Structure 1
């Protein structure tokens, strides 16, 4: 189930949006101020954030900046400030969408679905690729999950890099053997499966709605992400 962090200090609006989002099948966590929202985000990163601008403690623009320093979690801004300068500030700051109050709850749900249908992985131009909370640094051969480095063996790292270069593509066993094992492959049918198994264990806390390492029996392997 995809999770939504609703950052809204107006109780009536929060109650209505929570009801509509839950009816649409989302898990909803609500934060009534910017500091609580930041703590909720860091404790359990959501699939998407609905973010008001005028908030106590930390306003929406500052919260957007703080989150964008560490994550590409989708963010839709919901606010009564509908001037063009505010819209541009939100979108230029990294918001994925911007909706003005008053709004129709059904449209908010539709916008959430639309944003979540976009590819969840992106490259930042520095040899790094983000898959939700998973960061793969191809140049440095490092992997981070929720900002903590993932400890992988050289072989497991090579397998992950190979798959991460081809998100959602099916890679055959033969391709992995040729590109990762090369001349070191000893011919064991279990060698590739064992590396995939260990890789999954290392990434066991990667949220399933962000991606996963899949085995397609008789076909190959895939780093799947929406």
Structure 2
């Protein structure tokens, strides 16, 4: 079970984060100030840190700098300071992602999973959905035993969606998780990628699953048989 250190001095926020992450299968620990955060980091050795910026004793930027001097542990900055300059400071300082308050709990879980995946913490390597097999470790897709050739971006999108069966993601969320925070193109790229995936997977039985459009919301990897 992967360990997430939550460094947040607002109890209501830390409790929400704990609840969502625990439900998603993570082990969590909560610390409320900068000094305790550093102690917990050294003693507990988390797999990822959710780090608020405005903290007592030692702020999030200082903690980020201190940790980066000795570790590449993934760090997601969590703060109400939603300004592009703060984002750039975080990324330039070695942060892996940046989430502004207020946030959606499911989005936080998705971002935590994505950062862990990029850092090499993989979930279940081989996923089977009826006749569809998705091997995350080998970056390979098979449909009824036949190899499915996908572009790297389409494959990345399928890998992400299949990690969260029956969960809906907006175009913006998919752009951020698959294309990256610095992507400056149109969200039409998501629609085109979904269209290509559906074409390549058209032999996947509709009784087993489908990539569904949730009107007005986004897309969902809907699974009926695992």
State the TM-score, normalized to the length of structure 1.
0.53
Q: Which residue of 1 aligns with 2:16?
A: 16
1:46 match: secondary structure: coil
**Structure 1 CA distance, aligned partners of 2:115 and 2:84?**
21
Cα offsets for 1:189-218 (capped at 9, x unmatched): xxxxxxxxxxxxxxxxxxxxxxxxxxxxxx
Matched, 1:82 2:82: yes
Q: Deviations over 1:34-68 (max 9, x none)?
A: 10000000112100000000000000000000000
CA contact (8 A) 2:74 2:119 kept: no
Larger Rg: 1
Q: Give the secondary-structure state (helix, strand or coil) at the position aligned to 1:78.
A: strand
The answer to whether the aligner puts 1:5 opposite 2:9 as a matched pair is no
Cα deviation code 1:73-130 (max 9, x no counterpart) = 0000110001111111001000000010000011000000000111449xxxxxxxxx
Structure 1 segments unaligned to the other structure (5+ residues): 122-167, 170-226
Q: Which residue of 2 aligns with 1:59?
A: 59
Runs of 4+ in 1 over 2 A off after TM superposition: none
- Could you tell me how far apart the structure 1 residues matched to 2:26 and 2:70 are? 24
* Correspondence list, 1:111-190, <5 A: 111-120=111-120
Deviation of residue 7 (structure 1)? 0.3
Aligned to 1:32: 32
Which position in structure 2 is the counterpart of 1:108?
Answer: 108
Shift of 1:12: 0.2
2:43 pairs with 1:43: yes
Alignment of 1:92 onto 2:92: yes
What is the CA–CA distance in structure 2 between the aligned matches of 1:36 and 1:42, rounded to whole Å? 10
RMSD (Å) for aligned C-alpha atoms: 1.6
TM (normalized to structure 2)? 0.53
SS at match of 2:118: coil
For structure 2, list consecutive stretches of 5 or more residues without a partner in the other structure. 122-136, 139-226
SS at match of 2:28: strand
